Chains A and B, each alone.
Chain A
Amino acid sequence: GAVVSQHPSWVICKSGTSVKIECRSLDFQATTMFWYRQFPKQSLMLMATSNEGSKATYEQGVEKDKFLINHASLTLSTLTVTSAHPEDSSFYICSARGGQTYNSPLHFGNGTRLTVT
């Protein structure tokens, strides 16, 4: 079945530094990928839609200059958290649609746990 790989699984960084998270679709091409953020004991909140070859679409309240998204190929999207602060500590998870039919589910990566000290 469709597999989405996300790297790294966890990262600790110092405040003010930038962190890049990769999301790859391993056995299918994904023109669209999605980035979600999940705070502890809360639900997944969509941050942005990553579109291959074009600019990402950000949800209301998400700073596009802070969360840089690049979707340079049909199998790779990256999320860069720039000038990270402790409040950016969260679980970031990407997803991509696993097929072309209307009932194809979104397949998720294993997520990245970011801790900013």
Chain B
Amino acid sequence: AQKITQTQPGMFVQEKEAVTLDCTYDTSDQSYGLFWYKQPSSGEMIFLIYQGSYDEQNATEGRYSLNFQKARKSANLVISASQLGDSAMYFCAMREDFGNEKLTFGTGTRLTIIP
């Protein structure tokens, strides 16, 4: 079974609109962390936001927020007021067990912002 599932291969969004990128995960661990990374065409992986399994508040970082629904095992990324520079691949990733540093990535969503 896939540990991280991103069901949207691609999305097109009008500039300045908000966009939600879906991510569901599968784990039996009680302690885990969820990450979102952005990968522009240059290839670098840019860390965006983190949500811990025990965090009660949804994480926010500037225009990025994470809609964490633990019971549903979903960790959707919300980008508010999208910009042209937001066009990129977005990957959801999970780290199971805080003693383990390995990340498992989803298949990604290609976001294209339309002017």
Asked if residues A44 and B105 are in contact (CB atoms below 8 Å), the reply is yes
Asked if residues B108 and A43 are in contact (CB atoms below 8 Å), the reply is yes
Q: A64 near B: Cβ within 8 Å?
A: no
Q: B29 near A: Cβ within 8 Å?
A: no
CA distance in complex: A111, B103 (Å)? 17
Interface-located stretch among B20-28, B41-49, B63-71, B72-80: B41-49
Q: Which A residues are in CB contact (< 8 Å) with B33?
A: 102-103
With contact pairs A43-B108, A44-B91, A102-B33 given, residues A49 and B45 touching in the complex (Cβ less than 8 Å): no
Asked if residues A34 and B101 are in contact (CB atoms below 8 Å), the reply is yes
Q: A108 near B: Cβ within 8 Å?
A: yes
CA distance in complex: A104, B110 (Å)? 25
A-B contact count (CB 8 A): 50
CB-based nearest B residue for A109: B44
Interface string of A26-44 (1 = CB under 8 A from B): 0000001010000000111
Asked if residues B101 and A97 are in contact (CB atoms below 8 Å), the reply is yes
Q: Which B residues are in CB contact (< 8 Å) with A32?
A: 101
Shortest distance between the CB of A98 and any CB in chain B (Å): 8
With contact pairs A93-B45, A110-B42, A113-B43 given, residues A103 and B101 touching in the complex (Cβ less than 8 Å): no
Q: A56 near B: Cβ within 8 Å?
A: no
Contact of B35 among A49, A91, A102, A105 (CB under 8 A): A105
Q: A19 near B: Cβ within 8 Å?
A: no
Asked if residues A43 and B103 are in contact (CB atoms below 8 Å), the reply is no
CB-based nearest B residue for A113: B43
Residue from B33, B52, B102, B107 with most neighbouring chain A CB atoms (10 Å): B102
Residue from A42, A43, A102 with most neighbouring chain B CB atoms (10 Å): A43
CA distance in complex: A108, B102 (Å)? 13
CA distance in complex: A108, B37 (Å)? 10
Asked if residues B47 and A106 are in contact (CB atoms below 8 Å), the reply is yes
CB-based nearest B residue for A31: B101
Asked if residues A102 and B98 are in contact (CB atoms below 8 Å), the reply is yes
CA distance in complex: A91, B44 (Å)? 11
- 9 shortest A-B CB distances, which residue pairs? A108-B45, A105-B47, A111-B43, A102-B98, A110-B44, A43-B105, A44-B105, A43-B107, A103-B50
